[in-house]
Amino acid sequence: MYIIDTDSRERESAAIRRIVGSFHQKYVLGPMGLGTLSWVIVEAQKPGLIPGIVGDVDILAGTMEFSDPVAFRSALERVSGRYPDAHAGFLENMAGKEIAEAGGIEWPPKPSHIVGLEVKCSYFDTQPRATKSSPEKVAGIRKQIEWLTKMGLDRVALLDVIANPPSGGIDSGAWLAAAAQAQTSLAAAESVLRERLPSDSPSGQFVWAVGPVVGGDEAARGAGAPRLIRPPLMNPALGRGDPEVTANRRTLLESITRLLGSQRRPRYFPIVYIDCRKCRSLHLLDDDCLEEPGLGGSAG
Residue 223's H or E segment, with its range, is strand 222-223
pLDDT (tens digit per residue) in 262-277: 999 999 999 999 999 8
If we measure between CA atoms, which residue out of 201, 157, 218 comes closest to residue 31? Answer: 157
Q: Using CB atoms within 10 Å of the CB of residue 62, give its burial: 0 to 12 exposed, 13 to 18 middle, 19+ buried.
A: buried
Which residues of the chain fall below pLDDT 50? 292-300
Reported as half-sphere exposure (CB side, CA atoms, 13 A), residue 195 has a value of 13
Backbone angles phi, psi at 198, to 5 degrees: -70, 155
Least Cα distance to 21 among 33, 13, 10, 11 occurs for: 13
Q: Are strands 38-45 and 56-63 parallel, antiparallel or unpaired?
A: antiparallel
- The reported pLDDT for the residue numbered 290 is 60
Predicted pLDDT of residue 89:
84
Question: What is the per-residue pLDDT for 296?
Answer: 40
Q: What is the model's pTM?
A: 0.92
DSSP 249-279: HHHHHHHHHHHHHTSPPPSSSSEEEEE-TTT
Q: Domains of the chain, with CATH numbers?
A: 3-64+112-239 (3.40.1350), 69-101 (no CATH)
Q: What is the pLDDT of residues 274-287, one digit of tens each?
A: 999 888 899 999 88
Q: What is the C-alpha to C-alpha distance for residues 208 and 244, in angstroms, rounded to an integer?
A: 33
- pLDDT recorded at residue 170: 67
